[in-house]
Structure 1
């Protein structure tokens, strides 16, 4: 016989519910929340719920930033090196990036999608785009030839992807975006983010989006639930995710 479903409008956390939730979440996962709440299981579950809600709220702004970044960078690289710039030797992509492009093409072939530029571009990860703003790694391991993204990507193309930033450099763009890449990955892997300075994370998203398109920042702010969730205490039993 199955247990009755608690009233979602007044969800109580009795011992039976806490036992089942702890088993389904795993002791290791819930352990981080138990540590934060001094071993109080009910408070740990509430904190886990809040962490889930705030992670879900961040998904939209991060998605908006990723798409804006991808489209802006692709536009400028295509202007200089052509639509399939990722295949151009002149772009000087390092071995790591070339491997990611190859994996992307393999995935498209496997799923029977065209290997044209629109599909390749749409399938490349956020981490790939952020890596193009780094220094560049090894191109040829035999000769130890290294990429120079400052000269092949940033100066001729990528600096133009951030037209609304002042006194911008490749390093100044790469640092916050790489930080947001790790933040995004923590959310994607369902990790705790409640110990982070989430207000600053949100501001970084807004600032970098504004470098690309100020109206995109305004659009994110108009629709984002992040401020609302950040103002909601974890012990609010009406919290929804």
Structure 2
């Protein structure tokens, strides 16, 4: 059975567009997209764990162990809903919803929201020291986390990521993680690398007739 019949025409259409309707080439692009998504998984995993643990440590030191239920800390309705949903999920699973379990259950969107403009009151003396680098602004952290959250969501839903600025996103993962922990960043460097295919993927540009190799292709495809 052809791969397109398994994936569905809609899901495969993006790869066919990129491959100029060359089905075998589209299948190679699909397979590489899966490999690239897997490469990103471990680095995003380490970033998220470092972020949630460092933020929890800072907020616990500043506001106590009950900061998750403090409306002066979490002022956004979204944040409060995340906490309520996480607690309800744990309780449905028969768990005690301890502080540690809650920290692990809260999603990347919640942790990213701590750096949004509505949480500016948490920056300054509390969350700014989480990142060990000079001259850093909250909005820089917020933007990088938004971009990486979108990437994470695309990977989680098995969507194409080849059109994304892969090199920049990988650099952002490393930068954010290294600002929190050089050891965590070293783990990423050891266990996660953005690798290009051993055999180049060649696509012929429909307009010019020129061949585009995989390295030039990534990050420059139509979204």
Q: TM-score range by the shorter chain?
A: 0.7 to 0.9
The offset of 1:230, in angstroms, is: 6.1
Provide the residue aligned with 1:192 in structure 2: 160
Which TM-score applies when normalising by structure 1?
A: 0.80
| Offset, 1:234 | 3.9
Given the superposition, is the C-alpha separation of residues 172 and 225 from structure 1 closer, same or farther in structure 2, using an over 3 Å criterion?
closer
Aligned to 2:123: 154
Q: What is the number of residues matched between the two proteins?
A: 202
Query: What is the Cα-based RMSD across aligned positions, in Å?
Result: 1.5
CA contact (8 A) 2:74 2:80 kept: no
- 1:125 aligns with one of 101, 107, 121: 107
Partner of 1:49: 31
Q: CA deviation at 1:90?
A: 2.9
2-structure distance, mates of 1:128, 1:96:
8
Cα distance between partner residues in 1 of 2:103 and 2:63: 14
- Secondary structure of the 1:193 match is coil
| Map of 2:190 onto structure 1 | 222
Equivalent residue of 2:117, what SS? Answer: coil
Counterparts of 1:128 and 1:28, CA distance in 2: 31
Unaligned runs of 5+ in 2: 203-223
In 2, the alpha carbon distance for the partners of 1:37 and 1:215 equals 40
TM-score when scaled to structure 2?
Answer: 0.86
Shift of 1:37: 0.5
Matched, 1:165 2:155: no
Matched residue, 1:204: 172
Pick from 43, 46, 61 the counterpart of residue 43 of structure 2: 61
Unaligned runs of at least 5 residues, structure 1:
1-16, 137-148, 236-241
Equivalent residue, structure 2, for 1:179: 147
Cα distance in structure 2, aligned partners of 1:198 and 1:70: 24
After the TM superposition, which segments of 4 or more aligned residues of structure 1 sit over 4 Å from their partners? none
Distance 2:68 2:197 in 1: 40
Distance 1:85 1:194 in 2: 39
Structure 1 residues 221 and 158, CA, compared in 2 at 3 Å: closer, same or farther? same
For 1:115 and 1:56, how far apart are their aligned partners in 2?
30
Query: 1:91 corresponds to which residue?
Result: 73
SS in 2 for 1:156: helix
